[in-house]
Structure 1
């Protein structure tokens, strides 16, 4: 049995989505950021950084979503969601896996400063403005890449979309997507996928974000 160690609406949602796209059976063990379960020695033995996801599969445990994604694609190539060595889109595929983490690091910073910090802690408006600008710039890259195509790779949907597409659940809480029609259409295509809908049904209502949009506070 495949077991996904998971925090709802976190980066481990990428792996849940990929497993659904592949039609694989799996179990979920759910954790929370605030209850200390990620610091339990038993969990740290699976994910030394104390983060989700970790995936138990094929008699081993893999942590970090890009590594898990690449492993699933390479060991289950019949699903056609990876781009293997020697294939024309291999480099683009790997680049998008890494780009997803680059963008996610900015989202994580904004989550920490705008969602999790509580008084008397106070984020710097100047830093927040820079971080939002960085996130907006990362969306521009996706907007350009999607010009004339439905998915990140010209050949069609792949695990690059599950890696990066997950980020676009969080991006609209910090960046107005009105100027990005290609990205908005991409999000609509993602939301229409049965596997993505299955993930949302399993996740249930999100309680991560308490408001629809987090504006940068005035200096």
Structure 2
């Protein structure tokens, strides 16, 4: 059995998509999803605090192993079950593969910051317009860097689809709530290719309707 501790439309989507992409649900399943709501009491109860030192999703129980951190889980599952989605040490694409895997977290940390400021803060707390503006600018820069380096390729690496693209699945879902992709045509096309993958569609179907964001776009609040 595979047990995934998961917040719908959070970073744990990376792991859910990878499980679909690799066929591990069919090979090692069945899959049990333990779903949480951010900030809800159940995140402090049950198994999650034991599995995750930070008491955060994702966490996974698979083959008798317990792990947390989406990047670590993705790298481990690729190394042990889907080497074709990784780039082996010593190969020419290995440095770029590792860079994109970790770039995804640089970008996701900015999205998380904006989620906290513009989605989860409730009165009387107020987001800082200055901090939000700077964070949006930094997120836009990470997207511009991807746009420039993606070029005319279908995927992040010249050799084709990899787990580095899987790490971006959550990011490119969430980033447009703060930075429109209208100015990034290559990224918009890349996002469409991601969403067209059958495994991605299966993962989205497991998620169900999006309930994380209450509006289509979150502008920077006025000072």
Structure 1 residue 217: Cα displacement = 1.6
User: What are the ranges of 5 or more consecutive residues in structure 1 without an aligned counterpart?
Assistant: none
Are the counterparts in 1 of residues 13 and 169 from structure 2 also a CA contact under 8 Å?
A: no
Report SS of the residue matched to 2:183: coil
Counterpart of 1:67 (choices 69, 72, 78) is 72
Structure 1 position 143 matched with structure 2 position 151: no
Q: 78, 82, 87: which is aligned to 1:77?
A: 82
Distance 2:171 2:214 in 1: 18
SS at match of 2:220: coil
The superposition leaves residues 99-150 of structure 1 with CA deviations (integer Å, 9 ceiling, x where unpaired) of: 0001000000000000000111011111111000000000001101211101
Q: 1:114 matched to which residue of 2?
A: 118
Q: What is the alpha-carbon distance in structure 1 between the residues aligned to residue 36 and residue 128 of structure 2?
A: 30
8 A Cα contact 2:12 2:70, kept in partner? yes
Greater CA deviation, 10-19 or 84-93?
A: 84-93
In 2, the alpha carbon distance for the partners of 1:41 and 1:203 equals 22
* Equivalent in the alignment of 2:28: none
1:2-151 matched pairs, under 5 angstroms: 2-25=2-25, 26-40=31-45, 42-77=47-82, 80-151=84-155
2: CA distance, partners of 1:191 / 1:43: 29
**Separation (CA, whole Å) in 2 of partners of 1:165 and 1:5:** 18
Residue 175 of structure 1: which of 163, 174, 179 is its match?
Answer: 179
* TM superposition shift of 1:87: 1.8
Stretch moving more, 2-11 or 69-78: 69-78
Preserved contact between residue 8 and residue 35 of structure 2 (Cα < 8 Å): yes
**Farther-moved stretch of structure 1 (97-106 vs 83-92):** 83-92
Give the Å deviation of 1:84: 1.6
TM-score, normalization by structure 2: 0.95
Residue deviations 1:138-183, cap 9 Å, x none? 0001101211101011111111001023200001000021110000
Identify unmatched segments of 5+ residues in structure 2. 26-30
Deviation at 1:41, TM superposition (A): 5.7
Cα distance in 2 for partners of 1:45, 1:217 equals 38
Distance 2:36 2:214 in 1: 20
Matched residue count? 218
The CA RMSD measured in Å over matched residues stands at: 1.1
Deviations 1:65-92 (A, max 9, x none): 11101101110135x1111212221111
CA distance in 2: counterparts of 1:178 and 1:42, whole angstroms: 42
